[in-house]
Chain A
Amino acid sequence: MTGVPLSQKPPLLTVEALSTATGPARRRLTILEDVSFTVSPGEVIGIVGESGSGKSMLALTLMNLLPRSIVRTAGTVRLGETVLTNLSNKAWRDRRGRDMAMIFQEPMTSLNPVMRIGQQIEEVLVRRRRMTGREANREAVRLLERVEISSPAERLRAYPHELSGGMRQRVMIAIALAANARILIADEPTTALDVTIQAQILDLLRQLQADMGMALILITHDLGVVAEMAHRVMVLYAGRVAELAPVDSIFDDPRHPYTKALLASIPTIESRRERLTTIDGSVPTVGAMPPGCRFASRCPVARAVCKTLAPPVMPIAEDHGVACMEPFGYALPSSADLPGAA
């Protein structure tokens, strides 16, 4: 997939040094640490990582939808000129469903079971976009057509339990579209669906994204989805950014050992008779984060320094960042540049 010319456009969303934590103030457990990235208008950025890497937490942080037990401890989120992290909760809430919308992983539980589909779409139009009831109804029909639901006028009167999972996710997308948002965050939108439905929903998302020119933050653990949809990819590992690069670079020239391992674990047609490749070990848990690089214990190229020093994301090409010392000869570039350094 060809990337949009990214560098010309000013970023729509800028995330800088974002950290979140849980637990009482004395014993804070870090969940996300020092996450920075940008999203340009109309760009699709894929966020990849295993379960527990903090992908969903990142999405909820951007929407200010974190459960009360988790707090943002550092960092800023900027939307255009507005620093969202400086806003009151109320003002940030007002940005949701207007500038940014989100669809969730579980279409089966994400719709209110005692409200008709129509009400759930129309309330966004009426309460957020100041439409009259009649306008909202017409627009809701149009939105359901947009997400390719047949006989939309009838479906508006249906309750969620009368629809299949795929249909419900289409309704969720319609709700997100109703907001007319500039950024859509999709948190594993197809994980809970059948494989055939997955492809349909992804096609729909890609088409809508291209038609409406909105930016899409696509969270997934499926690299195949990323390869098809994303312009750029951010790989998260245990709450930290491992690698951030255009999609072609990630697949053709991955520099982080974790990215390489992820790519190696994708089953291919040629390898189908063999055992599936896996990454040994598991993601360290929130309470037991090792000092140094969090991937070190599972990393095939880790050295002693990796266990003590956690590298930040460092540029290895103009648009390619990696949080690993291996490409830099096991030294932070700044010290590597010093004369006499090994």
Chain B
Amino acid sequence: MLSFVLRRLLSSIPVLILVSLMTFALIWLVPGDPASVFLDASATPEQIENLRRQLGLDQPIWSQMLSWYERVLSGDLGQSILLRRSVADAILERLPITLSLAALALFFAVLFGILLGSLAAVNHQRWGDQSIMAIALLGLSIPDFWLGLVLIVVFAVQLGWLPSGGYVPITEDFVGWARSMALPAFTLTVTQIGFIARMTRSAMLDVLRQDYVRTADAKGLSHSFVVLRHALPNALVPILTVTGVIAGGLLGGAVVVEQVFFLPGLGRLIIGAILSRDFPVIQGGLLMLAVIYLVINLIVDLLYALIDPRVRYG
């Protein structure tokens, strides 16, 4: 198991190098001189030259790259042009909001997705199955921004139960935090439950047909025990794959939902940076997202090995 973890960690290094290279190269995709793009048309040549020096654009490309790696490895992602502060600080300040939103949504999506999917599989081709699958399809088809707006209208504007937006840090007030996260997390969850439920259903249907489930049935174990103890662990592998993909997708979804609910998360930071061409922030944000993706994939792979002994020794 330890060697599996080590091998898996080592194999993520090349990906990290590639991702960071692409992030670095981003600045060169801008047509013309980046420095003049950052500043508006009224900037003087001196201001542009200053910015060029500040961004290191006057150096040869290999030395720019070296210094980029040097800075990134020491945790320095540069200075935001717009916010006039360290990019790393700006990201770290907003990261917990995005991560907690995504984690909440993921937790509930996995919980209810597996529950509904399993129920559908066990009741295959009966009304329970068909109604669950209809709901799952509905959840899949609803755009998250639309659902978010509807929820705001109903629960914030009309019923007045929950705030329509904004963020309360968990360290200040737990109830306030929970209230501020309820609608965004729910919005994000609903759109992802369908994926997990459908995957769970098909994985469970496949597993329930397997010989070893029949063996477990032949032992006279109760049906719920057979489903939970014998079938579900075997169905978890494909479910986990989907969950990994969804976890990445949730970060993307969080960008939209943060916008709708006015949450100051990483998504809004990046969107703001894109709109104002704040390149250091875009670079830092992308790098951060890529690292999160890598970590998620690493966790998924480790969970595979935890679930399936054949992966561990393979």
Main secondary structure of the interface of B (DSSP, over half): helix
Q: Size range of the interface on B?
A: 20 to 34
Does B60 lie at the interface of the complex (its beta carbon under 8 Å from any beta carbon of A)? Answer: no
Q: Would A97 and B230 count as touching, CB distance under 8 A?
A: no
In whole angstroms, how far apart are the Cα atoms of A193 and B221 in the complex? 28
- Is A228 an interface position by the 8 A CB rule? no
Inter-chain contact A123/B214, CB cutoff 8 Å? no
Residues in B202-219 with C-beta less than 8 Å from chain A = 210-212, 214-219
Bound-state CA distance A124–B217 (Å) is 11
What separation, in Å, do the CA atoms of A64 and B229 have in the docked complex?
21
**A102–B218 Cα gap in the complex (Å)?**
7
Give the nearest-CB partner of A161 in chain B: B310
Please name all residues of chain B whose beta carbon is closer than 8 Å to the beta carbon of A63 when the two chains form the complex: 218
Q: Could you say which of A110-118, A134-142, A232-240 contacts chain B? A: A110-118
Q: B307 at the A/B interface (Cβ < 8 Å)?
A: yes
Residues of A with C-beta under 8 A to B229: 123
Interface pair A161/B309, CB less than 8 Å apart: yes
Partner of A159 from the list B210, B230, B309 (CB cut-off 8 Å) is B309
**Contact partner, A110, options B215, B223, B233, Cβ 8 Å:** B215
Q: Is the CB of A210 closer than 8 A to any CB of chain B?
A: no
Compute how far the CA of A128 lies from the CA of B219 in the bound complex, rounded to whole angstroms.
8
CA of A111 to CA of B215, assembled, Å: 7
* Cβ-neighbour of B214 out of A68, A95, A104, A127 (below 8 A): A104
Known pairs A106-B211, A109-B210, A112-B230; A97 contacts B310 (CB<8 A): no
Chain A residues contacting B221 (CB-CB under 8 Å) are: 97, 123-124, 127-128
A51 to B222, CA, bound (A): 32
Residue contact A179 to B310, C-beta cutoff 8 Å: no
A interface footprint on B219-234 (CB within 8 Å = 1, 0 otherwise): 1111101000110011
Residues of B within 8 A of A159 (CB): 309-310
Q: Does B89 contact A (CB under 8 A)?
A: no
Closest to A95 in B: B220
Given contacts A113-B212, A113-B310, A161-B309, contact A101 B218 (CB under 8 A): yes
- Quick one: CB contact mask for B118-144 with A, threshold 8 Å, 1 for yes? 000000100000000000000000000
CA distance A106 to B212 in the complex (A): 10
Contact assessment for B215 and A127 in the assembled complex, using a CB-CB cutoff below 8 Å: no
Question: How far is A106 from B210 in the complex, measured between Cα atoms in Å?
Answer: 11
A65 is an interface residue with CB less than 8 A from chain B? yes
CA gap between A95 and B219 in the complex, in Å = 9
Q: Shortest CB–CB separation between residue B275 and chain A, in angstroms?
A: 49
**Closest B residue by C-beta to A127:** B221
Given A65-B217, A114-B233, A159-B309: A93 and B212 within 8 A (CB)? Answer: no
Task: Tell me, in angstroms, the Cα distance from A106 to B221 when the chains sit together.
Answer: 20
Residue on A nearest B221 in the bound complex, by CB: A127
Contact (A97, B233) CB under 8 Å given A104-B214, A109-B211: no
Closest approach, in angstroms, between the C-beta of A330 and any C-beta of chain B? 43
Pair A98/B217 contact, Cβ less than 8 Å: no
What's the minimum C-beta distance from A143 to chain B, rounded to whole angstroms? 14
Known contacts A109-B210, A114-B233; is-contact A96 B217 (Cβ 8 Å): yes
Report whether B220 and A98 are in contact in the complex, using a CB–CB cutoff of 8 Å: yes
Interface residue A175 (Cβ < 8 Å from any Cβ of B): yes
Q: Specify which chain B residues have a CB less than 8 angstroms from the CB of A106 in the assembled complex.
A: 211
Residue of A nearest to B212 (CB): A112
Residue of B nearest to A60 (CB): B214
| Residue numbers in B under 8 Å from A172 (CB-CB) | 215
Does A94 have its Cβ within 8 Å of any Cβ on chain B?
Answer: yes
**Cα distance A127–B229 when bound, in Å?**
13
B219 contacts A115, C-beta separation under 8 Å: no
* Complex Cα gap A159–B307 (Å): 12
Distance, CA A59 to CA B124, complexed state (A): 24
User: Does chain A have a CB within 8 A of B308?
Assistant: yes
A114 to B215, Cβ gap below 8 A?
no
Residues of B within 8 A of A175 (CB): 215, 219
Bound-state Cα–Cα, A159 to B308, Å: 10
Q: Contacts A93-B223, A109-B210: A114 and B217 contacting too (C-beta < 8 A)?
A: no
- Besides A96-B220, A114-B308, A124-B219, 8 more A-B contacts (Cβ < 8 Å) are A68-B124, A97-B219, A109-B210, A110-B211, A113-B212, A114-B307, A123-B219, A175-B215
- Could you give 9 example pairs across A and B, Cβ below 8 Å? A65-B214, A68-B124, A93-B222, A97-B218, A109-B212, A113-B309, A114-B234, A115-B230, A123-B219
What is the interface of chain B, defined by CB distance below 8 A to chain A?
124, 210-212, 214-223, 225, 229-230, 233-234, 307-310
Name A residues whose Cβ lies closer than 8 Å to a Cβ of B.
Answer: 63, 65, 68, 93-98, 101-102, 104, 106, 109-115, 123-124, 127-128, 159, 161, 172, 175, 179
